[in-house]
Chain A
Amino acid sequence: MPITTTRRRLLAGSAAALALPAFARAQGAVKPRLTAISQWSAGSDGAAITALGRKFEEKGGTWQHSPVPGFTTEMMNKLRAQIIAGDPPACSQLKGPEIAAWSKIAPTVDLDAVVAAAGYEKVVAPDLAKLHKPGGKWIALPLQIYSTNMLFLSKRAMDKAKADKVPVTWADFNDLAEKMKAGGITYPIANGGTRPDDGQKFEASLAGISPAAYRAAIMNLDKKALEGPEIKAAFAQTRKISNWMDPNVGAQPYATNLKRFVDGDMGMMIMGGWAQGVLRNAGFKFDDYMIAPGPSDNGKPVFLLNADAFIFWQRKEADLQAGQALMAQLVMDPAIQTMYSQITGSIPVRTDVDLSGEGWSDGQRRTAAALKDAIASNQAVLSLAHNMAQENGLTAAMIDVITEYVKNKTIKPEEAVTRLAEAVEGSR
């Protein structure tokens, strides 16, 4: 066994050397340099990428990161401007199907050899891997993973409802919400009023009702699935959730309600794992709340994948190419992924990282376990609300329907189904 492994490594290594003569040559000769742009400038995101940069410098590289604070779209505008000017960064933040879309407008680096050399492909969720190799070649590397449908339960609200069981299915979830309401909690669901917030309620509903229908309708845009009974059921569940939310939230982000959630004035929150980092930064303790995988009617965890990634743009300069090779190795490195996720509250992309040690939270361990189970039962799907399932145009068209449905309670679930199908048809 050890011999074959070594041989495979050797083969992969030589393949890398053959495929990337520039990389190999450059690494020996010049000081690696990396120009990178991302939106991560502050908070835990900023801290994490700064730590990554320090590692890059420890390995002898020059780290030139230009953060573009604000919305992802502003980062994209900068990227677009640089690409049009013929001066793309050596690597930039980009995720989901946008990787495929953007790779058509400028040449990217073929990372197949480095990925093979690291044996990376077999430790990455298959659906995720596909996104980073449009056209069959790795051109981007995922950095960290979040699940968008984690269920956060307020300990104090659970006490008020005299409940201690974590809901597994949507029926359990609905029962618990009713119990909380009966226990005097006016708004059992803590929520924000932004588009992704609304989108997350729907995608969590649909994926929890039927991951297969989610895959067919949302990821593959199958016309029949889009008009199927599961979509209607998901809209009906979304309506239930929205009836338990505070309507006064306007367009504010979910974080506005974190205090009310911890205090037990609100009971549950369906949110991405990043909320854990926000809760920690806001000074709340781990025992103020519990984290579990989002409701799933078949009992097995459903994982709505959201992954940040770096795409690598082709550059002629030897030092940049060396920098890209070094960056790729770092991003795939389990130790680096551990460092990064421990700062941001995400989980590593690699499914072989051990999270039992110190520095990991219970929520992260549970998230990682859910991902493993979900992959095993083919229930790891790509998030719509966070631009993983479809390109931005299609995503926005679908979220339009969902957010209007959440806010306008006169729209019936069956109308919403028709509108969703029409929105998909209209923007294809």
Chain B
Amino acid sequence: MTDAVSTATRPAASDMVRRLPEYLMIWVPLLLSAAHLISFSIWTIWISFTPSTLVPVTGWVGLRNYTSVLASRNWQIAFDNLLLFGSAFVLLSLITGLLLAILLDQRIRGENVLRSIFLYPLAVSFVVTGTVWSWLLNPGIGIEKLAHDLGWASFHFDWLVNRDMAIWTIVIAAIWQSSGFAMALFLAGLRSVDADIIKAAQIDGAGPIRTYWRVILPTLWPITITVVVIQLQFAISAFDLVRALTNGGPGIATQLPALVVYDLMFQRSQLGRGAAAAVLMLLILLAVLLPYAAWRYVQRRQATHA
């Protein structure tokens, strides 16, 4: 009896010791970052109910910070912009990424070089992207001036300084930056499609377009959802790109929630309201992430049941 126990536990214990570095490597950072994230989120939520201005103070003002943020023009503009920017950016970067991936998937020469080129923008910081695009898009010094200098005098491209179109310049720069990321994920997905299925489709007489549309693309939708979620959370928390590109302007036409939070907390010294805006951002983020988590959960259950 005692023998049986010791033989059963000894390998387990040594296994534990052997895997200790792995556990430490995974759990310590995970717990630290979780504690960090949760404690600061709770703290921010608490601050959002206090009358804090320059420094955090205790007190209770109920939902006053929330109502004043929600009623402010800045937030309303930021929220509308987020809807527009979020959907346009996610959709367009998805399409661009998928298109690039399909084109690269044609077993072309120099694929590695092209892939690096398309992925490269991801390695550039958003501040750099924003600054460079702010020069390119500036009608006085960028693309418009180039076209004029080349003799195309009627060329007109002033989106950066046009209040109604400025938000689209952020979409352009963001797509430039991150469609390579979508491309990489899609390419991996395309490569993992079973070659036999493709062969079978070809034998059945499907052309390349039909093969993609009917056979290959349907297998990509789990990747699509991942890309959408990752891009959406980027869109919601977008800050540095906008700050460098338009800084919320012209006027306040390209405000986004993260800019409003920063502005309230650090420029207007209204910590309570800034915290309320941050909590609102968190809620928007949860509105995206919770359905995703639920979907993943359902998927996993179906997989284990099967």
Contact = CB atoms under 8 A, between A and B. Distances in A.
B135 to A, nearest CB: 9
Given A77-B266, A404-B251, A247 B55 contact: no
B160 interface: yes
Contact of B158 (A77, A248, A404, A426): A248
Contacts of B55: 80, 83-84, 105
A250 B54 contact: no
Interface of A: 73, 76-77, 80, 83-84, 98, 101-102, 104-105, 193-194, 246-252, 391-393, 396-397, 400, 403-408, 423, 426
Contacts of B266: 73, 76-77
B138 A248 contact: yes
B68 A426 contact: yes
A390 B135 CA distance: 34
Given A102-B54, A251-B134, A393-B269, A403 B161 contact: no
Given A102-B54, A393-B269, A393-B270, A404 B252 contact: yes
B117 to A, nearest CB: 28
A94 B140 CA distance: 36
Contacts of A104: 54
Interface in B266-292: 266-270
15 contacts: A73-B266, A73-B267, A80-B55, A83-B55, A84-B55, A105-B54, A193-B250, A248-B161, A249-B161, A250-B250, A393-B53, A393-B270, A397-B268, A400-B252, A406-B251
B73 interface: yes
Given A250-B134, A250-B138, A426-B72, A407 B269 contact: no
Nearest to A80: B55
Which of A77, A84, A251 has the most CB atoms of chain B within a 10 A radius of its CB? Answer: A251
Given A248-B139, A248-B158, A393 B268 contact: yes
B15 to A, nearest CB: 46
A105 B161 CA distance: 41
Given A250-B160, A392-B268, A403 B246 contact: no
Interface of B: 53-55, 68, 71-74, 134, 138-140, 158, 160-161, 163, 246-247, 249-253, 263, 266-270
Nearest to B249: A251
A80 B251 contact: no
B247 A251 contact: yes
Nearest to B245: A251
A407 B163 contact: yes
Which of B54, B71, B247, B270 has the most CB atoms of chain A within a 10 A radius of its CB? Answer: B54
Nearest to A396: B268
Which of A102, A405, A407 has the most CB atoms of chain B within a 10 A radius of its CB? Answer: A407
Nearest to A419: B73
A77 B55 CA distance: 10
Nearest to A102: B54
Contacts of A400: 73-74, 252
A249 B251 contact: no
Contacts of A102: 54
Contacts of A84: 55
A80 B161 contact: no
The A interface, classified by DSSP as helix, strand, loop or mixed, is helix
Contacts of B250: 193, 250-251, 407-408
Contacts of B140: 246, 248-250
Question: Considering the complex of A and B, which 3 residue pairs feature the smallest CB-CB distances, nearest first?
Answer: A248-B140, A404-B251, A407-B251
B276 to A, nearest CB: 14
Contacts of B163: 407-408
A76 B163 CA distance: 31
B217 to A, nearest CB: 40
A403 B246 CA distance: 13
Contacts of A408: 163, 250-251, 253
B286 to A, nearest CB: 28
B269 A101 contact: yes
B251 A250 contact: no
Contacts of A105: 54-55
Contacts of B267: 73, 392, 396
B22 to A, nearest CB: 37
Contacts of B53: 101, 393
A404 B252 CA distance: 6
Nearest to B263: A396
A265 B233 CA distance: 45
A391 B269 contact: yes
A371 B72 CA distance: 38
Contacts of A391: 269
A428 to B, nearest CB: 11
Contacts of B158: 247-248
A83 B160 CA distance: 40
Nearest to B269: A392
Contacts of A404: 251-253
A416 to B, nearest CB: 12
B268 A403 contact: no
B54 A403 contact: no
Nearest to A405: B251
Contacts of A403: 249, 251-252
Contacts of B253: 404, 407-408
Contacts of B160: 250
Contacts of A405: 251
Contacts of B54: 80, 101-102, 104-105
A250 B246 contact: yes
A96 B5 CA distance: 77
A426 B64 CA distance: 12
